[in-house]
Structure 1
Amino acid sequence: MRFARTGAPGAERPIVSGSDGLWRDPTPLTDTIDLELMSSAERLDVDALPVIEPGRFGPPLDRVGKIICIGLNYADHARETGATPPEEPIVFLKTADTVVGPDDDVLIPRGSKKTDWEVELAVVIGATARYLDSVDQARACIAGYAISNDVSEREFQLERGGQWDKGKNCETFNPLGPWILSADEVADPQNLGLRLWVNGELRQDGTTADMIFGVDHLVWYLSQFMVLRPGDVINTGTPAGVAMGSATADYLKAGDVVELEIDGLGRQRQRFRQA
């Protein structure tokens, strides 16, 4: 099942899509996309709800909790940046207010010279994960999957001192969606293709099979250090093809258009403009 939100920014309404692929209006039952709706969807007669034609897609989750990001989680991306593949996941956080809709404009920060793109599989947590005993327990804590663009400003991130947060938490730096696909619809999260284009040119073409640390391992691992709660999102890393790994280092500029997709999870399109 797919869960999304449509409408003007700040006035989105929930929509759901079941077996027939049509978008439907669940507002007779709920006014939000939250984990309670997602967990009860199998008991709802979704195909009996009114059909609706979506407009703008907003972020698919009404209330995002923590955004936990994993750095250098694809071996080819580590190689292109000249980094040694990590022995344990590299973890940093993004704030929830960086999240925008999948087709919303993204702002290039003032003073930015190195704004970069990163197509990523986002994992939406659906049940509390606290000190999980084994990796095998992780899958039961996942509500679904979505596309995330972990936009980054590399100079702020790596050349301005301190931690990565300055280059990761700029305004609009986490387009999410267009929908959340329920976990039961994804047979193998380690077998999904990811692709990203800049101005029509393919820049990233990878697969989640190349993750250094897989989805289940990440959920288990993170639960040893923090409590994962329903509504938290994990950005699981990006494959090779980012500007930082390019010999030409052609970072994003105002007017550029970035498009990205993941198998079964839809497609995003953002125009970048100056803040």
Structure 2
Amino acid sequence: MDAAGALRDIGEPEIDGAFLASGGVERVREALQRGALPVVDAEGLRIGAPIARPGKIVCIGLNYRDHAAESGAEVPAEPVVFMKASNTMVGPYDDVLIPKGSVKTDWEVELAVVIGKEARYLGSREEALGVIAGYAVANDVSEREFQLERGGQWDKGKSCETFNPLGPWLVTPDEVGDPQDLPLRLWVNGEPRQDGTTKDMIFDVAEVVRYLSRFMVLEPGDVINTGTPAGVAMGMPGQPYLRAGDVVELEIGGLGRQRQKVGQA
């Protein structure tokens, strides 16, 4: 998207790890400045996730104090890390499917970090911020019974199909500014459910990236979901989990807005 809000064809097949590792963002920026990117008529077109085939989706649990409190959990001393299957990723306006046998499908608006450079054993916050290609809106959809009542393996409640809508945009760090000053909001059927700010993260973006690089190699195109504020169904009176026909809308300041209709697998 250019400064006037027009969509442009970047002239590359897709944005993936190879694109990011080879300086694709810089190529696109230079081509835009030259006026070399044609305008796209997006009428009737599907908007997909802004990253194709992430190598991995790494998630941080209980990263907001208010969400830890509503979950009945202690504030963690170190980041709580779990993985989400990479094929959970869908576009920001695609349907979310309730899994077969699910009774506790939940929502989570989250700031997603997209890695742009290989990173291992990062030694400082500055190094950590330097490997980030950009940020996006993520809905870390979760099935709480699968997650918490079926043997204690979080991944089972996080990796069902369609459980990671991402986008609509990959916004570069220079346009985001301070990632710890972004409002996050989510609505279900028009009713406000989550209203938080990244200021309230227990472990901020730089620390999350630095910490993860001590335990795994982060590669271009990897996605990190950094946690959600309070307001999930699990923590609400009556626990109003998602049902087929519901509509979820979510946004993060400066990163765009998502909308998903809930269906049945």
TM-score by length of 2: 0.94
Alignment match, 1:145: 135
Please give the alpha-carbon distance, in whole angstroms, between the structure 2 residues aligned to 1:97 and 1:250: 27
Alignment match, 1:271: 261
Matching of residues 167-246 of structure 1 within 5 Å: 167-246=157-236
Please give the alpha-carbon distance, in whole angstroms, between the structure 1 residues aligned to 2:155 and 2:245: 25
Measure how far apart 1:154 and its partner are.
Answer: 0.1
Please give the alpha-carbon distance, in whole angstroms, between the structure 2 residues aligned to 1:158 and 1:32: 36
Moved more, 34-43 or 122-131: 34-43
Q: Is the 8 A contact 2:56 2:223 kept in 1?
A: yes
Please give the alpha-carbon distance, in whole angstroms, between the structure 2 residues aligned to 1:222 and 1:96: 17
Alignment match, 1:44: 31
Please give the alpha-carbon distance, in whole angstroms, between the structure 1 residues aligned to 2:130 and 2:219: 13
Please give the alpha-carbon distance, in whole angstroms, between the structure 2 residues aligned to 1:43 and 1:104: 31
Measure how far apart 1:38 and its partner are.
Answer: 1.7
Counterpart AA for 1:120:
E
Task: Identify which of 59, 64, 79 aligns with 1:89.
Answer: 79
- Is the partner of 1:138 in helix, strand or coil? helix
Paired residue total: 257
Counterpart AA for 2:71:
T
Counterpart AA for 1:38:
V
Please give the alpha-carbon distance, in whole angstroms, between the structure 2 residues aligned to 1:231 and 1:144: 10
Counterpart AA for 1:18:
D
Q: Is the 8 A contact 2:189 2:247 kept in 1?
A: yes
TM-superposition CA deviations, 1:95-116 (whole Å, max 9, x none)? 1100011010111011101000
Alignment match, 2:4: 20
Moved more, 49-58 or 239-248: 49-58
Measure how far apart 1:44 and its partner are.
Answer: 2.2
Measure how far apart 1:32 and its partner are.
Answer: 1.5
Measure how far apart 1:190 and its partner are.
Answer: 0.2
Measure how far apart 1:43 and its partner are.
Answer: 2.6
Structure 2 portions without partners, runs of 5+: none
Matching of residues 40-79 of structure 1 within 5 Å: 40-46=27-33, 47-54=35-42, 55-79=45-69
Q: CA RMSD in A?
A: 1.1
- Is the partner of 1:180 in helix, strand or coil? coil
Alignment match, 1:102: 92
Please give the alpha-carbon distance, in whole angstroms, between the structure 2 residues aligned to 1:25 and 1:131: 36
Q: Percent identity?
A: 66
- The answer to which structure has the higher strand fraction is 1
Residue 32 (1) aligns with residue 22 (2): no
Please give the alpha-carbon distance, in whole angstroms, between the structure 2 residues aligned to 1:220 and 1:39: 24
- Is the partner of 1:181 in helix, strand or coil? coil
TM-superposition CA deviations, 1:125-183 (whole Å, max 9, x none)? 00111001112211110000000000000000000113101100011100011110011
TM-score by length of 1: 0.91
Q: Is the 8 A contact 2:106 2:241 kept in 1?
A: yes
Alignment match, 1:251: 241
Q: Is the 8 A contact 2:10 2:28 kept in 1?
A: no
Counterpart AA for 1:53:
D
Please give the alpha-carbon distance, in whole angstroms, between the structure 2 residues aligned to 1:129 and 1:20: 34
Moved more, 34-43 or 73-82: 34-43
Moved more, 127-136 or 256-265: 127-136
- Is the partner of 1:197 in helix, strand or coil? strand
Please give the alpha-carbon distance, in whole angstroms, between the structure 1 residues aligned to 2:208 and 2:198: 13
Measure how far apart 1:198 and its partner are.
Answer: 0.2
